[in-house]
Amino acid sequence: MTVRAAVAGASGYAGGELLRLLLAHPHIEIGTLTGHSNAGQRLGALQPHLLPLADRVLAPTTAEELAGHDVVFLALPHGQSAAVAEQLGPDVLVVDMGADFRLKEPADWEAYYGSPHAGTWPYGLPELPGARAALAGSKRVAVPGCYPTAVSLALFPAYADGLAEPEAVIVAASGTSGAGKALKPHLLGSEVMGNMSPYGVGGGHRHTPEMIQNLSGPAGERVTVSFTPTLAPMPRGILATCTAAARPGVTAESVRAAYEKAYADEPFVHLLPEGQWPATASVHGSNAVHVQVALDANARRIIAISAIDNLTKGTAGGAVQSMNIALGLPEDTGLSTIGVAP
């Protein structure tokens, strides 16, 4: 089986990581690559680590250039996917790595993005209850945000088993590639190195409604989320520290049991042995999710921590995983749980 794939937005970090993974995928033939301001340039000048594609030249991002592929990945700024997707036809598998089709509630979209809601596609976090069924055979996939991936996988087992109060408090640290290649002063290396800083504090980060959606479903009630993202001096990785008050009667054993049950058969999510905590370096470049959980007996809170690579499981790896399901391929085709460390 050979699947011909196009990538719209091949010059950015998400596009580059996707190409890295697609180059290792046994069923993918890489077709058209497009860019916006970089159209016409050699990929070797933009993504020098992708040596086998160095001589490819970026096409402009138009429906004509993207036509004729089995799969089209969209790695575009939010709000731009719908216009491209609707021109691609219903038989093409469209995998949107942007935010456009993740949220179910139009009001959530409009409150956080300020534009009309484009719709809702099957959500590409296969580990969530019911997600795989919706993805199988689908021609449209909404890839989750990087933070919601890390947070949802850290916390949903506690909610699915009724162990946690519906008020989650989350602080996450992300590598700088999560902010993309945009030329902003605070993303300069001189500013980032040796520096930890928060942003989007107080509920304003756009990934917040997506987290609420992902936790409220398993919880069976609305979960409020206090989310504080921080920028860490590293290129990749998310460490999500997620806590929620434990319901009465919850024990360390019942917490651990919930997570063991949730992740016993998952190919990518790994509950670490007791006492060992996740570290982003361990999942660098891999699609693995390392999770650990504990019950703070004094504060009576569940502390669940996950580590992912924001570009791999958090974006491009998650996209390939969902593509595999949509195409009927083994879910782990072309993906690895092995990190590049140290």
Residue 94 CB neighbour total at 10 angstroms: 26
Q: How many residues bind a second copy (CB under 8 A)?
A: 92
Nearer to a second copy, 149 or 280 (CB): 280
Interaction mask 104-143, a second copy, x per CB under 8 A = ----------------------------------------
39 binds a second copy (CB under 8 A): no
Minimum CB separation of residue 332 from a second copy in Å reads: 11
CA-closest candidate to residue 128, choices 142, 108, 116, 118: 142
Angle at Cα 304 formed by Cα 300 and Cα 310, nearest 5°?
A: 155
Which residues in the 181-210 window bind a second copy by CB under 8 A?
Answer: 181, 183-185, 187-199, 201-203, 208
Of the residues 64, 86, 105, 167, which one makes contact with a second copy according to CB under 8 A: 167
280 binds a second copy (CB under 8 A): yes
Minimum CB separation of residue 33 from a second copy in Å reads: 15
Please name the amino acid found at residue 97. M
Which residues in the 44-103 window bind a second copy by CB under 8 A?
Answer: 44-45, 47-52
The active-site residue out of 22, 74, 99, 146 is: 146
Which residues in the 299-338 window bind a second copy by CB under 8 A?
Answer: 299-301, 303, 305, 307, 336-338
Of the residues 122, 148, 217, 278, which one makes contact with a second copy according to CB under 8 A: 278
Buried b (16+ CB within 10 A) or exposed e, 294-330: bbeeeeebbbbbbbbbbbbbbbbbbbbbbbbbbbebe
User: How many CA atoms within 13 Å lie on the side-chain side of 232?
Assistant: 17
| Angstrom distances, CA of residue 8 to CA of 58, 143, 265 | 9, 15, 33
